[in-house]
Chain A
Amino acid sequence: MTIPDDDSTKRKRWTHLRRVLERAGPFKDPNFEPSTELLSGIESVRILIIGAGGLGCELLKDMALMGFCRIDIIDMDTIDLANLNRQFLFTKTDIGKSKAEIAAKFIMNRIPNCNVTPHMNKIQDFDASFYSQFRIIVCGLDSIVARRWINSMLVSMLQYDENNQVVPTSIIPLIDGGTEGFKGNARVIMHGYTSCIECTLDLFPPQVNFPQCTIANNPRLPEHCVEWVTSILWPKEKPFGPGVNIDGDSVEHIQWIVEHATKRANEHNITGINFRFTQGVVKRIIPAVASTNAVIASICATEVFKLATSSVLLMNNYTMFNDIEGIYMLTYPPEKREDCPICSNVPVRVQINETAKFQELVDQLIEKYQLIAPLICTQIDGQSKTLYMTSTQQMLELTKPHLRMTLQELGLTNGIEMLVGDPARASSMRVIISLTSSMETTTAK
């Protein structure tokens, strides 16, 4: 059951989009040229959505109905009953199945001609060659770690010109959305031009950690009692056998915690412990409603559409939303940190002869960047390797022999990136090795 894929049907179907694609207006981006071609442009551009949860489901629907037809979606999770109050592409019969797969299937059934490729994976399962297939990446995640990971991945894929400026065509724009209860935010990141995730880490709410001593001795809140059970009693009593960690989704586990937290609370005259509360503390549950997810995802989708078409100006470039008291939305550009360890950390290239010893490379770095005691590490074929470290006795002894080895013996091939930390520098440097040939004849070619 599909719509005929002929041109006139397609054009009729997308009348709403075509009005803003085939006509210009005073709020267009300067790049914009109205054209009937733009519709097929949207159809062919490859989009990656990270996360098929509350935001991901909305994003998938929004992108598909904004004309995008080549979408990949990544999520390693399976569907849970507690997802269903907002993750509308899933029903009770889908519980336990892959979020990415069910979401993809639903969209392709509902919106024929839209191709969605699901990946039941962690984002860390893929490397740069995977991410470089996409022109725009949209993130609907609840994890800071994952956001930082994809952020630094995209930075590592940038190319720089001779003035150390980012080459615009090497940018994969990252649109990021996040929600918590009735609050949310969305942003457009173009590395090198806007602030990045790492520049603005303080925009994320800090994790609440209670003092260990309060938990051990002076509980006052029901939270303190629950944390006492999870951090002190559980490791001591190992109620479900040695090596069994707390599973926040296990009714038995939570019940055991409720029981003992209640006991502790009663001893201290504290009230307020019940199943829902306890599970919330144990799993650090963030409340969520359908409406906020709809709002934040739609902002992301609108911006992706603008990026792809230039039909109107982009937002600039971070927006906060809150609808507890009235409805509030503020947009502003957070400062791009000049000392951001990720996006301001433009890799430097060092040229060195391919037959050189590692010592020569270290000397060159020390001299050129006035280092005191560099710590150098790298990744070779996905394996971390510590090349040089002098700040502890053991590591000095272990890595000193590297100095006498050649780059080749250490596996340092052309283009390999090293991390260099030093007490004299505020943050680590990224150093890319450029090998020069010892034989004049080959360089001439």
Chain B
Amino acid sequence: MSKSSIPCTKQIQYDRQLRLWGDHGQRALESGRVCLIGANALGTEILKSLVLPGLGSFTIIDHQLVTIDDCGSNFFVHPSMIDQSRARVTCELLTQLNPDVHGIYIDKPSIDDLLQQNTFDFSQFNVVITANLSINTLNILARHLWILKIPLLVARTYGFIGTIRLQVFEHYVIEVHSDDTIPDLRLDRPLITFVNYCNSIDFKSLTREEHLHLPSIIILFKTLQLWQEQYNSKNLPQTRLEKDEFRKILDQLLHHSAYDTHDKEKLLENFEEAKRTIPSRLVKTHLPSTIKDLFQDRSCLELSHQTNLFWFVIHAIKLFTENEGQGLLPVRGEVPDMITNTISYIKILKIYQEQATKDCEIVNKYFFDLLQKYNRLPDECIIACDLVETYCKNAAFLRVLRTTAINSENYLIDETESNRSWYTCLHLCDLFYEKFRRYPGEFLSDETQFETDLIDLKQINRKLDSGKDLTSDSKQKFLEELCRYGASELHSIAALIGGCCAQEAIKLITHQYVPIDNTLVYNGIEQSINVFKL
């Protein structure tokens, strides 16, 4: 064995995550650039879960100084650093977690001034994250990033409640890594090589040994052939009656002259497996609606010199589907394990793999033709080969995520969904902040102040709600609870939103897994999460 296959230090260090997003995911992460606005408890927790797995670089924007109450919630400050620049201190302590990561901080000017000057280049980042940023600043920033088409994650904690809002103009999900996928075996639209192989097996002359090891997928296909013959059909059995007949034929195949009477009582594992896998393997092969939508997307139909490479591949797959694919996607080339001997399994695996390679080559050819047509060839062709293969393997799951812009949010629609009201009520706290420059209940020692704040908060709610039904009891309760929290940053809540938000950033950077669409509310009282579209 060559020495080169022994993992290097870096591969060992990242071993546990490389098993999830692969070396290519890691490479993407290591060239990722993230901007964090707000180095509070929440902000540093987000960066922590990005620095540990080896993000390329981060930039912290924060003009505040370390305070004593930071020491009661933020892990990346130390009491000896009180009154020092919070951006600098947290940047130092965060980079200590992982020397591979490059950390930069900006403590002057403030984010408000940066936005006002409009000279800072946010387009250098893969994603911008805000942590408990106040509403006015956020709105300006969100508008700015929407124009730049830079993804924005808005994270927030408020007592036991946390939220994340994603604003992204267009994000491509290439590898979903879905938990349960139905194998791409196409028994209803079988590969010619597969049909030939099945036909080459003379069922009647099988030896006992061969019958015992007949792969369940062959059993299913043989049964299907017999069923289709009997019913003069080209489809799969659909009605209950048809399915029962199908099972009957399968049971008949089970009896075979190669067995003696003693064998008959024996459970044949491969036949059991065939029956068990009917629901997942004898399914209609169709073009998933997700990819159909992509084929119809304007970006796919109207390629141009500026179009993202993603749409070139989609277009190439579309051409494949319309021509060689006869309405179907490229074959995935994977075969689930089944009870059989080595030779039979490998034979079937190779049939599917070879078809997958062929399909991929055709897509690749279309892809290169398109690149040439739109003058994209010289700079793009190097990465393209692996790229097309990954796309073909995941063709059924490719998708695009486009969220609404934050400024166009309508906060007050539909509050029936659980936890939705928390989001609405937090917005009321923001309106309170706009008016009073502090959050309701922020002052601790004064009880009468608390009562006044609560009254003011309810007042704001009434104004917004005017014309509607009387505000519900539950909403009153939510406002009261939020007033109790007084915008407190509880560390454990920051840690949860921090972990979630970091992972969303990783999804955006690696184009693996599916980001939230588009607003998450975490309720730390019940320990529940709801995601909804705004």
Using a CB–CB cutoff of 8 Å, the interface residues on chain A facing chain B are: 1-3, 9, 12-20, 22-27, 58, 61-62, 65-67, 81-82, 84-86, 88, 91, 110-112, 181-182, 186, 214, 217-221, 251, 255, 258-259, 262, 268-270, 274-276, 280, 285-295, 297-299, 301-303, 305, 312-313, 315-316, 319, 321, 323-331
Chain A residues near B463 (CB-CB < 8 A) = none
Return the contact of A3 from the options B68, B96, B177, B485 (Cβ within 8 A): B68
Task: Contact check, B53 vs A85: say whether CB atoms are below 8 A apart.
Answer: yes
Chain A residues near B484 (CB-CB < 8 A) = 19-20, 23-25
Task: Contact check, A289 vs B503: say whether CB atoms are below 8 A apart.
Answer: yes
Task: Contact check, B179 vs A251: say whether CB atoms are below 8 A apart.
Answer: no
Distance, CA A264 to CA B485, complexed state (A): 63
* Chain A: minimal CB distance from B422 (Å): 11
Task: Contact check, B444 vs A19: say whether CB atoms are below 8 A apart.
Answer: yes
Chain B residues near A17 (CB-CB < 8 A) = 72, 488, 490
Task: Contact check, A291 vs B49: say whether CB atoms are below 8 A apart.
Answer: yes
Interface size class of B (residues with CB under 8 A): 35 or more
Cβ-based interface call for B502 (8 A): yes
Grouping DSSP codes into helix (H, G, I), strand (E, B) and loop, the A interface class, with mixed when no group exceeds half, is: mixed
Chain A residues near B16 (CB-CB < 8 A) = 82, 85-86, 285-289
Task: Contact check, A255 vs B514: say whether CB atoms are below 8 A apart.
Answer: no
Distance, CA A188 to CA B78, complexed state (A): 32
Q: Which of B78-98 contact A (CB under 8 A)?
A: 78-80, 96-98
Task: Contact check, A220 vs B514: say whether CB atoms are below 8 A apart.
Answer: no
User: What 1/0 flags go to B469-492 for Cβ under 8 Å of A?
Assistant: 000000001001101111011111
* Chain A: minimal CB distance from B44 (Å): 11
* Chain A: minimal CB distance from B47 (Å): 11
Stretch at the interface among B17-25, B223-231, B241-249: B17-25
Task: Contact check, A255 vs B75: say whether CB atoms are below 8 A apart.
Answer: no
User: What 1/0 flags go to B58-84 for Cβ under 8 Å of A?
Assistant: 000000000011011111001110000
Task: Say whether, besides A12-B69, A82-B13, A302-B493, A327 and B531 are in contact (CB < 8 Å).
Answer: yes
Distance, CA A110 to CA B503, complexed state (A): 26
Closest residue to A329 on the B side, CB-wise? B529
Closest residue to B76 on the A side, CB-wise? A110
What are 26 of the A-B contact pairs (CB < 8 Å)? Answer: A13-B72, A14-B72, A17-B488, A17-B490, A19-B159, A23-B450, A24-B484, A26-B481, A27-B525, A66-B492, A82-B12, A85-B16, A88-B97, A110-B75, A218-B340, A255-B6, A270-B342, A276-B11, A291-B49, A291-B503, A291-B506, A292-B503, A295-B496, A313-B525, A313-B526, A324-B514
Chain B residues near A9 (CB-CB < 8 A) = 68
Chain B residues near A61 (CB-CB < 8 A) = 75, 495
Task: A26-B480, A298-B493 given; name 15 further pairs at CB < 8 Å.
Answer: A13-B69, A20-B490, A62-B492, A82-B15, A88-B52, A220-B342, A268-B346, A276-B7, A289-B20, A294-B49, A294-B495, A298-B499, A312-B525, A323-B500, A324-B178
Question: Which 6 pairs of residues, A with B, have the shortest CB-CB distance?
Answer: A294-B499, A65-B491, A298-B495, A329-B529, A25-B484, A315-B527
Cβ-based interface call for B9 (8 A): yes
Distance, CA A14 to CA B41, complexed state (A): 13
Task: Say whether, besides A291-B503, A313-B525, A16 and B489 are in contact (CB < 8 Å).
Answer: yes
Distance, CA A289 to CA B17, complexed state (A): 6
Task: Contact check, B342 vs A268: say whether CB atoms are below 8 A apart.
Answer: yes
Task: Contact check, A305 vs B492: say whether CB atoms are below 8 A apart.
Answer: yes
Task: Say whether, besides A19-B485, A301-B492, A324-B177, A110 and B78 are in contact (CB < 8 Å).
Answer: yes
Task: Contact check, A295 vs B500: say whether CB atoms are below 8 A apart.
Answer: yes
Task: Say whether, besides A288-B16, A289-B17, A291-B506, A112 and B340 are in contact (CB < 8 Å).
Answer: no
Task: Say whether, besides A1-B80, A299-B527, A288 and B17 are in contact (CB < 8 Å).
Answer: yes
Task: Contact check, B502 vs A291: say whether CB atoms are below 8 A apart.
Answer: yes
Chain B residues near A2 (CB-CB < 8 A) = 79
Distance, CA A313 to CA B481, complexed state (A): 12
Task: Contact check, B346 vs A270: say whether CB atoms are below 8 A apart.
Answer: yes
Cβ-based interface call for B160 (8 A): yes
Closest residue to B481 on the A side, CB-wise? A25
Closest residue to A289 on the B side, CB-wise? B17
User: What 1/0 flags go to B30-65 for Cβ under 8 Å of A?
Assistant: 000000000001000100110011100000000000
Task: Say whether, besides A19-B484, A220-B337, A329-B529, A81 and B9 are in contact (CB < 8 Å).
Answer: yes
Stretch at the interface among B117-125, B253-261, B516-524: B516-524
Chain B residues near A324 (CB-CB < 8 A) = 176-179, 513-514
* Chain A: minimal CB distance from B505 (Å): 9
Task: Contact check, B499 vs A276: say whether CB atoms are below 8 A apart.
Answer: no
* Chain B: minimal CB distance from A167 (Å): 28
Distance, CA A22 to CA B450, complexed state (A): 12
Chain A residues near B19 (CB-CB < 8 A) = 276, 280, 285, 287
User: What 1/0 flags go to B89-119 for Cβ under 8 Å of A?
Assistant: 0000000111000000000000000000000
Cβ-based interface call for B5 (8 A): yes
Chain B residues near A259 (CB-CB < 8 A) = 1
Chain B residues near A319 (CB-CB < 8 A) = 527-528
Chain A residues near B491 (CB-CB < 8 A) = 16, 62, 65-66, 301
Distance, CA A23 to CA B339, complexed state (A): 63
Chain A residues near B490 (CB-CB < 8 A) = 16-17, 20, 66, 302, 305
Chain B residues near A220 (CB-CB < 8 A) = 337-338, 340, 342, 345-346
Chain B residues near A65 (CB-CB < 8 A) = 41, 72-75, 491-492
Chain A residues near B345 (CB-CB < 8 A) = 218, 220
Chain B residues near A84 (CB-CB < 8 A) = 13, 52, 98
* Chain A: minimal CB distance from B143 (Å): 26
* Chain A: minimal CB distance from B36 (Å): 15
* Most chain B CB within a 10 A radius of its CB, from A292, A316, A329: A329
Return the contact of A182 from the options B45, B338, B513, B517 (Cβ within 8 A): B513
Closest residue to B269 on the A side, CB-wise? A211
Distance, CA A330 to CA B523, complexed state (A): 11
Task: Contact check, A325 vs B527: say whether CB atoms are below 8 A apart.
Answer: no
Chain B residues near A217 (CB-CB < 8 A) = 341
Task: Contact check, B342 vs A219: say whether CB atoms are below 8 A apart.
Answer: yes
